[in-house]
């Protein structure tokens, strides 16, 4: 498969997944008021937090270890058992902490949280297996698996119908996405006949991941801790509006994320003699896509939110306009972040993420009490942009690449999709 066909295939799968997610959000918005959507999303947010804070950054360790071709079969084989085991422990710990904090954090009830946290082992295994598929030059597999999961979730919601949906039913449907996603990946890995799991390698991977995990945890908290602050200070109604805006703002990173995924294996290919130049070239294209995507997403939200979601969610359009630039810029820095993981060491990945999280938390505490969801969106964009700039500065300092080589020129701005990132076909 050529580079361009690989990119377009993955873009189609990712676009399909995101469109199905938007369709699911429309069904949920029509079935549940903002308060109900906020309750549903907080249950899912607890499960997502358990996944992100408990996965031990194994996927980053896989990325660092992938440079040794001898380890690749066992790294792929270790993904499923490691994910299920680590995910189960993370879910149990999350439920315990949620039980202790239910009253002060205004979390949903125990049954809703147990249902949501059943997806943590599945999501953790998906994270690891997806990463090895991308590293192994099989982004099409990762894209199709995600599309299948989204189709299962959305199809079930549509089959039930908006009139019969409750908060518990919506959370149960949410579980279908990681379950089907993992099933597709597991079947494909088995057919590919990968190597056998290796316990010594699993220990080494977990150990390396733990050293990288503070940065990964901070990056997740940067993206999602604002939900807990918003829920505590403003309530589920504001969370319902803000989370819909986040869902729509994800369109701003669609093409950018696909370009990063399709070029990831090229950063580790033996044929690439200058990984820094490859990374800079990818970043230029990603930044051009980010600028176009943020503008397009904001305009579409302004036109479509009220007629599609109803007047109760009309304020989301302004939130999308605030969020989209930061979301797109953060996505544009993914290739730089991957290069820093490979060559920069933990201090170049952990420090920037922790600093951005501290900035985000301070801004949320300052802005949310006065401006609610609007303050939350503004805090996110400022902190996302700051992290992307710091990552670029570190890359420039470590590699000696001039700043101008990271900025898109006329060729990228005129037609980023016509340009191709060179990497071996898989």
35 pLDDT higher than 80 = yes
What are the residues whose beta carbons fall under 8 Å from the beta carbon of 284, sequence distance 6 or more? 405, 406, 407, 408, 409, 412
pLDDT at position 415 is: 52
State which H helix or E strand residue 317 sits in.
Answer: helix 316-332
pLDDT at res. 422: 45
Place of tokens 């505590």: 232
Contact between 27 and 36 (Cβ < 8 Å): no
**pLDDT exceeding 90 applies to what percent of the chain?**
45
User: Is the pLDDT confidence value at 374 over 60?
Assistant: yes
Q: Write down the mean pLDDT value for the chain.
A: 86
Q: 108 — alpha (psi -120 to 50), left (phi > 0) or beta?
A: beta
Residue of 200 and 275 predicted with greater confidence: 200
The continuous run of DSSP H or E covering 294 comes out as: helix 275-309
Which of the four pLDDT bands, split at 50, 70 and 90, describes residue 116?
A: very high
**How far are the Cα atoms of 224, 235, 393, 404, 425 from residue 384, in angstroms, in the given order?**
12, 24, 14, 21, 32
pLDDT tens-digit profile of 290-331? 889 999 999 999 999 999 988 889 999 999 999 999 998 998
Question: What pLDDT shows up at residue 167?
Answer: 93
Domain boundaries, the chain: 3-418
Alpha helices for 55-119 (secondary structure H): 58-65, 72-105, 110-117
Helix axes 34-54, 3-31, angle to 10 degrees: 140
pLDDT at 218: 84
Q: Each residue of 54-86: pLDDT tens digit? A: 999 999 899 889 888 899 999 999 999 999 999
Buried b (16+ CB within 10 A) or exposed e, 289-311: bbbbbbeebbeebeeebbebbee
pLDDT number for residue 416: 46
Q: What is the largest CA-CA distance in the chain?
A: 59
Residue 426 pLDDT > 60: no
Q: For position 6, what pLDDT does the model report?
A: 67
- pLDDT value at position 16? 87
Tokens standing for residue 138: 């099989």
Report yes or no: 209 and 57 within 8 Å, Cβ to Cβ: yes
130-171 confidence digits (pLDDT tens): 999 888 877 778 888 999 999 999 999 999 876 678 999 999
For position 296, what pLDDT does the model report? 93
Q: What DSSP string runs through 252-267?
A: GGHHHHHHHHHHGGGG
Which of 96-100, 216-220, 369-373, 408-412 comes out lowest in average pLDDT? Answer: 408-412
pLDDT band for position 417 (50/70/90)? very low
The pLDDT confidence band at residue 272, using thresholds 50, 70 and 90, is low
Say yes or no to pLDDT of 419 above 60: no
Q: Which two tokens stand for residue 187?
A: 């079947």
By mean pLDDT, which of 112-121, 282-291, 363-372 is the weakest? 282-291
Banded pLDDT at 273 (limits 50, 70, 90): low
Residue 208 CA to its chain's centroid (Å): 21
Task: Mean pLDDT check: name the lowest of 93-107, 279-293, 362-376.
Answer: 93-107
Give the contacts of 46 (CB within 8 A, at least 6 positions apart). Answer: 94, 98, 107, 108, 113, 116, 117
Confidence of residue 267 (pLDDT cuts 50, 70, 90): low
Mean pLDDT of 351-362: 91
pTM exceeding 0.85: no
Q: CA–CA separation, 321 vs 313, rounded Å?
A: 14
> Residue 47: is its pLDDT beyond 90?
yes
Cα separation, 394 vs 85, in Å, equals 35
**Pairwise CA distance, residues 195 & 185, whole Å:** 15
Percent of residues, the chain, with pLDDT higher than 70: 90
Q: What is the pLDDT of residue 421?
A: 45
Distance from C-alpha of 388 to C-alpha of 112, rounded to nearest angstrom = 36
Distance CA 185, CA 48 (A): 20
Question: Is the pLDDT reported for residue 13 higher than 90?
Answer: no
Which residues, 6 or more positions from 174, have their beta carbon under 8 angstroms from its beta carbon? 44, 116, 119, 153
151 vs 148: CA distance, rounded Å: 5
For 98-113, what is each residue's pLDDT tens digit?
988 876 777 888 999 9
């Amino acid at each position: 498969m050529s580079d361009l066909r690989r990119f377009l295939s993955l873009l189609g799968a990712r676009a399909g997944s995101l469109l199905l997610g938007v369709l699911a959000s429309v069904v949920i918005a029509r079935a549940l008021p903002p308060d109900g959507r906020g309750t549903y999303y907080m249950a899912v947010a607890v499960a997502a937090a358990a996944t992100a804070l408990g996965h031990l950054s194994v996927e980053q360790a896989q990325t660092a270890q992938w440079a040794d071709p001898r380890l690749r079969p066992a790294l792929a084989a270790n993904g499923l058992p490691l994910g299920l085991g680590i995910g189960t422990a993370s879910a149990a710990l999350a439920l315990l902490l949620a039980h202790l904090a239910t009253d002060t954090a205004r979390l949903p009830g125990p049954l809703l949280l147990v249902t949501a946290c059943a997806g943590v082992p599945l999501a953790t295994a998906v994270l690891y297996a997806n990463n090895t598929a991308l590293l192994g030059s099989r982004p099409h597999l990762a894209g199709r698996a995600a599309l299948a999961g989204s189709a299962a979730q959305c199809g079930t919601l549509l089959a039930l119908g908006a009139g019969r949906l409750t908060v518990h039913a919506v959370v149960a449907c949410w579980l279908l996405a990681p379950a089907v996603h993992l099933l597709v990946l597991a079947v494909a890995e088995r057919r590919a006949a990968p190597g056998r799991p290796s316990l010594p390698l699993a220990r080494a991977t977990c150990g390396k991941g733990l050293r990288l995990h503070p940065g990964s945890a901070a990056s997740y908290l940067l993206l999602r801790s604002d939900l807990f602050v918003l829920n505590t200070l403003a309530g589920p109604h504001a969370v319902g509006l803000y989370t819909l805006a986040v869902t729509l703002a994800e369109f701003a990173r669609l093409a950018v994320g696909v370009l990063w995924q399709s070029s990831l294996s090229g950063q580790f290919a033996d044929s690439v003699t200058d990984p820094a130049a490859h990374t800079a070239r990818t970043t230029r294209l990603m930044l051009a896509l980010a600028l176009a995507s943020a503008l397009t997403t904001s305009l579409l939200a302004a036109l479509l939110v009220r007629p599609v979601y109803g007047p109760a969610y009309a304020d989301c359009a302004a939130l999308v306009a605030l969020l989209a630039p930061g979301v797109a810029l953060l996505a544009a820095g993914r290739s730089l972040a991957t290069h820093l993981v490979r060559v920069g060491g933990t201090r170049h990945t952990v420090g920037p993420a922790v600093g951005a999280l501290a900035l985000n938390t301070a801004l949320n505490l300052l802005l949310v009490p006065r401006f609610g969801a609007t303050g939350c969106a503004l805090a996110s964009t400022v902190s996302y942009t700051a992290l992307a700039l710091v990552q670029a500065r570190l890359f420039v300092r470590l590699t000696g690449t001039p700043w101008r080589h990271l900025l898109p020129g006329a060729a990228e701005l005129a037609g980023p999709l016509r340009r191709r990132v060179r990497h071996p076909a898989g």
